[in-house]
């Protein structure tokens, strides 16, 4: 910049000197005028150049300030983040598992039973990695009946050959909704068909191995062995050792296809086999076979999935076993299941309808049929209100306890870390 | 037997076909299989890995970052992957960890060489000062939408190059060379974008969800509010009324939304005259944004055009 200034200054001095030489002729006079004009022109150019130099210097200074400010802001942000990281690292509970709690409560009104403020459950969940080879999770559930370990299981994370093993108490991989916790269901109550045929949630003490097939599409197999399957299944006492023929063995195959980007279908088939069911009053025993087929269709438009969508799910169960003192050749076969559809109205609201067909295991000819429209309001991802009306036609119980109209207003809230993983999607 | 009975030409043709298939298969098998969570990351990885990598993206670019469906069809891809590239900062928290649980691929689990967190070293914006869900659906580690700042994308590209080199050190020189070329290309574009964005300096805008902070910081826009009451919490009628007043008072020029419901932005646009623009926070959301550079370029051009018309 200084060199340019000096050059321009010398040039101006030269021009001034030329103008100061005495003029002796007309030709010289006109030349002098021309030179004067030239000098004026040069002066203007010089002025413009000086202004531009000043402007550039100002811009340079401004840019330097801006860069410095950015550096300072970045350093400050990094400092904040660093402090947060240090705070987390130095906390005494840094290696504690993720902890969450779910409260599930409702106001119930049943035609035959009356009303109730129903404290359904308070579930505490814990989850963390055990080491590089396994992770562990647990759900401890408090209900009006007491507190119990709903699930507590370890799962391998690094087995070869696409294998995963799970052991402890967990929800066995049978069907779709039977292995979902009640507060995660799309409606208020677990379908009566699931309650009667599976025994509610597929809670099981045992081991399970999953195999992911190396296919271009999703195909997964599960085999498992358990004391029994079903939280409400009282055919076996969990605490008493018994012959291996009196355990329950499970096989499941589950696949999924994207029909298009927005439409998909998922199909599963489950088979639970207990070689010998021996109730206290039944010395001879006999096997029990519980089969299930589940189909789920999802419409999830990718660009609007948070506020639009439809899901249709259906499961059919078949139970076959001898009851009490039945003759060996006399088995009781019962068929039941449910279907539901849920439509997302916007990000917060959805509505749906559940049809439930629940036979009696003991008297397969008798059945209970339920019709349940429901409306869900998700105030946020962690706070949900649901209203459900259910009409039950109960032909199983003598007292028709479930018959008539029922109303439920359910409130489910979550604090802390909470996830039931892939299986409950 | 049938093969032996075929004509000589047919036999030669079938042998050549089989050989070419085997060659193609082995070339594909030699490529590094990369799964990226978002198309922008997939594109950056392709620029660095070039012919050495075969990259797939799980999301398509039109999804809401908080609403990517947990599709089982993602699982076979994750199962086969040598490397996983993700945004990090808990951006994929709602869907990716659950898929990784069943993908049976220890190579791409957190902490393993095949797990590339692109956010390492990013000067994170908006780290929460109060970790409480009363503040909405917070990102405890800060705002994860840093790809909207092309300068920070140079850090992302470095992370990807280093991550690929960690798993495949034999190709490190190629990755480093490609990284330099890509960063030089980005630098060229950044100079152009800075010039292009001059009309955006000082422009006041409203966003649906808090995802434009990095873009605004880089190009000088000023955010005056959000449609969501708090992150992840849909607007209440009162909030919309006060937002409308604020837009009028501050003379905001654009309202930005992506995969969210356009109903509220359109309603606010009708009431205030503000321009409502759907701009996705990843590449791939539109056919003309199939690469990272095209996406930032499209976003800037669209915004400049909208501001000049308003």
ipTM entry: 0.83
Is the per-residue pLDDT at A107 higher than 50? Answer: yes
Is the per-residue pLDDT at A14 higher than 60? Answer: no
pLDDT of A33? 85
pLDDT band at A381 (very low <50, low <70, confident <90, very high): confident
Measured CA to CA, the distance from residue B56 to residue B35 in angstroms comes to: 5
Cβ–Cβ below 8 Å for B101 and A380: no
Q: First CA to last CA across chain A, in angstroms?
A: 68
Mean pLDDT of B79-104: 93
Weakest mean pLDDT among A308-322, A407-421, B158-172, B246-260: A407-421
Taking the CA of residue B154 as centre, how many other CA atoms within 13 Å lie in the half-sphere pointing to its CB? Answer: 11
- What residues are paired with A128 via a beta bridge? A136
Most distant CA pair in chain B: distance in Å?
87
Weakest mean pLDDT among A134-148, A313-327, B64-78, B231-245: A313-327
pTM of the model: 0.80
pLDDT, one tens digit per residue, over A255-280 is 999 999 999 999 999 999 999 887 65
Q: How far is CA B54 from the centre of its chain?
A: 17
- Residue A282 contacts B where some CB pair is shorter than 8 Å: no
SS3 B61: coil
pLDDT band at A35 (very low <50, low <70, confident <90, very high): confident
- Residue A304 contacts B where some CB pair is shorter than 8 Å: yes
CA-to-CA dists, residue B126 to A74, A75, A262, B220, B254, angstroms: 12, 14, 33, 17, 22
A residues 363-422 near B, CB within 8 Å? 380-382, 415, 419, 421-422
pLDDT, one tens digit per residue, over A385-410 is 999 999 999 888 776 777 899 999 99
Please choose, from the candidates B153, B125, B152, the residue with its C-alpha nearest in 3D space to the C-alpha of residue B139: B125
- What residues are paired with A98 via a beta bridge? A127
Is the per-residue pLDDT at B86 higher than 90? Answer: yes
pLDDT, one tens digit per residue, over A164-205 is 999 999 999 999 999 999 999 999 999 999 999 999 999 999
- Residue A159 contacts B where some CB pair is shorter than 8 Å: yes
Radius of gyration, alpha carbons of chain B: 23
Chain B residue set in contact with A, beta carbons under 8 Å = 60, 62-64, 66-73, 75-76, 79-80, 97-99, 101-104, 106, 109, 111, 123-125, 127, 133, 136-137, 142, 232-234, 259-261, 285
Nearest to B72 among A74, A218, A419 (CB): A218
B111 CB neighbours in chain A (<8 A) are: 132
B137 CB neighbours in chain A (<8 A) are: 380-381
Cβ–Cβ below 8 Å for B63 and A210: no
pLDDT of B238? 94
pLDDT band at B122 (very low <50, low <70, confident <90, very high): very high
Cβ–Cβ below 8 Å for B127 and A346: no
Q: How many CB pairs under 8 A join A and B?
A: 106
Measured CA to CA, the distance from residue B300 to residue B310 in angstroms comes to: 15
Sheet holding B53-57, edge to edge: B53-57, B32-36, B83-86, B115-117
Q: What angle do CA A253, A257, A259 make, to 5 degrees?
A: 155
Contacts 24+ apart (CB under 8 A), A387-394: A388/A187, A388/A188, A388/A189, A390/A189, A392/A192, A392/A368, A393/A368, A393/A369, A394/A368
Nearest CA-CA distance, residue B306 and chain A, Å: 22
Is the per-residue pLDDT at A22 higher than 50? Answer: no
Nearest CA-CA distance, residue B11 and chain A, Å: 31
Name the phi and psi angles at A7, rounded to 5: -60, -50
Q: Are A376 and A356 in contact (CB under 8 A)?
A: no
Q: Are A425 and B94 in contact (CB under 8 A)?
A: no
Nearest to A422 among B101, B125, B133 (CB): B101
The DSSP code sequence of A104-144 is: EEEEEEETTTEEEEEEEEEEEEEEEEEETTEEEEEEEEEET
Name the phi and psi angles at A307, rounded to 5: -135, 5
Cβ–Cβ below 8 Å for A305 and B69: yes
Nearest to B124 among A81, A256, A264 (CB): A81
pLDDT band at A374 (very low <50, low <70, confident <90, very high): very high
CA-to-CA dists, residue A127 to A131, A335, A382, B79, angstroms: 12, 37, 18, 23
Nearest to B70 among A261, A346, A425 (CB): A425
Cβ–Cβ below 8 Å for A422 and B98: yes
pLDDT of A272? 96
pLDDT of B6? 58
Radius of gyration, alpha carbons of chain A: 39
Give CA torsion, residues A414, A420, A422, A424, to 10 deg.
Answer: -80
């Amino acid at each position: 910049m200084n060199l340019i200034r000096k050059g321009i200054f010398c040039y101006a001095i030269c021009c001034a000197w030329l103008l100061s030489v005495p003029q002796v002729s007309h030709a010289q006079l006109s030349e002098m005028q021309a030179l004067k004009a030239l000098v004026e022109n040069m002066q203007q150019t010089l002025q413009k150049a000086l202004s531009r130099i000043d402007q550039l210097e100002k811009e340079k200074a401004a840019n330097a300030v801006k860069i410095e400010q950015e550096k300072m802001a970045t350093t400050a942000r990094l400092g904040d983040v660093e402090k947060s990281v240090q705070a987390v690292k130095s906390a005494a509970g840094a290696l504690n598992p993720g902890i969450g709690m779910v409260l599930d409560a409702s106001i119930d009104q049943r035609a035959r039973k009356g009303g109730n403020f129903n404290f359904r459950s308070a579930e505490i969940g814990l989850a963390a990695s055990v080491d590089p080879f396994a992770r562990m999770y647990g759900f401890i559930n408090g209900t009006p009946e007491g507190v119990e370990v709903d699930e507590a299981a370890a799962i391998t994370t690094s087995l070869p050959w696409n294998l995963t093993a799970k052991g402890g108490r967990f929800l066995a991989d049978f069907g779709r909704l039977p292995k979902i916790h009640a507060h995660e269901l799309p409606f208020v109550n677990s379908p009566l068909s699931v309650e009667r045929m599976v025994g509610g949630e597929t809670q099981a003490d045992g081991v399970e191995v999953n195999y992911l097939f190396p296919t271009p599409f999703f195909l997964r197999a599960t085999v498992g062995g358990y004391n029994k399957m079903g939280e409400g299944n009282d055919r076996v006492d969990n605490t008493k050792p018994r012959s291996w023929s009196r355990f329950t063995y499970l096989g499941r195959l589950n696949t999924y296809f994207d029909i298009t980007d927005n439409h998909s279908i998922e199909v599963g088939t489950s088979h639970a086999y207990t070689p010998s069911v021996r109730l206290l009053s039944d010395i001879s025993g006999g096997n029990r076979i519980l089969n299930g087929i589940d189909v789920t269709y999802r419409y999830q438009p990718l660009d609007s999935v948070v506020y639009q969508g439809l899901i249709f799910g259906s499961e059919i169960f078949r139970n076959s076993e001898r009851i009490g003192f039945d003759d060996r050749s006399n088995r009781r076969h019962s068929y039941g299941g449910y279907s539901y559809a849920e439509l997302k109205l916007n990000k917060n609201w959805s509505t749906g309808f559940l049809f439930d067909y629940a036979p009696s295991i003991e008297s397969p000819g008798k059945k209970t049929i339920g019709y349940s429209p429901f409306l869900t309001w998700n105030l946020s991802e962690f706070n949900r209100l649901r209203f459900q009306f259910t009409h039950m036609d109960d032909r199983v119980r003598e007292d028709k306890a479930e018959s008539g109209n029922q109303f439920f207003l359910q409130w489910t809230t979550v604090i802390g870390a909470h996830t039931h993983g892939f299986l409950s999607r | 037997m049938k093969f032996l009975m075929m004509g000589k030409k047919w036999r030669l043709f079938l042998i050549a076909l089989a050989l070419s298939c085997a060659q193609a298969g082995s070339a594909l098998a030699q490529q590094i299989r990369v799964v990226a969570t978002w198309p922008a990351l997939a594109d950056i990885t392709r620029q660095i890995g070039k012919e050495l990598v075969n990259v797939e993206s799980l999301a398509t670019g039109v999804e809401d970052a908080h609403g990517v469906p947990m599709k089982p069809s993602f699982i076979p891809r994750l199962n086969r992957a040598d490397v996983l590239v993700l945004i990090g900062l808990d951006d994929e928290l709602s869907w990716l960890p659950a898929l990784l649980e069943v993908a049976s691929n220890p190579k791409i689990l957190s902490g393993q060489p095949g797990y590339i967190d692109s956010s390492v070293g990013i000067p994170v914006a908006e780290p929460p000062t109060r970790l409480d869900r009363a503040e909405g659906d917070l990102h405890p580690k800060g705002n994860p939408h840093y790809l909207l700042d092309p300068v920070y994308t140079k850090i992302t590209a470095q992370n990807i190059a280093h991550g690929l080199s960690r798993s495949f050190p034999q190709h490190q020189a190629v990755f480093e060379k490609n990284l330099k070329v890509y960063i030089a290309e980005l630098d060229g574009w950044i100079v152009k974008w800075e010039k292009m964005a001059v009309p955006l300096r000082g422009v006041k805008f409203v966003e649906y969800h808090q995802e434009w902070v990095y873009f605004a910081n880089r190009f000088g826009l000023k955010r005056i509010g959000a449609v969501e009451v708090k992150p992840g919490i849909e607007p209440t009628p009162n909030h919309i009324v006060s937002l409308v007043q604020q837009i009028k008072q501050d003379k905001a020029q654009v309202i930005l939304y992506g995969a969210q419901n356009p109903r509220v932005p359109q309603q606010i646009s009708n009431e205030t005259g503000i321009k409502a623009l759907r701009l996705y926070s990843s590449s791939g959301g539109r056919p003309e944004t199939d690469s990272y550079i095209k996406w930032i370029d499209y976003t800037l051009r669209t915004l400049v055009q909208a501001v000049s018309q308003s």
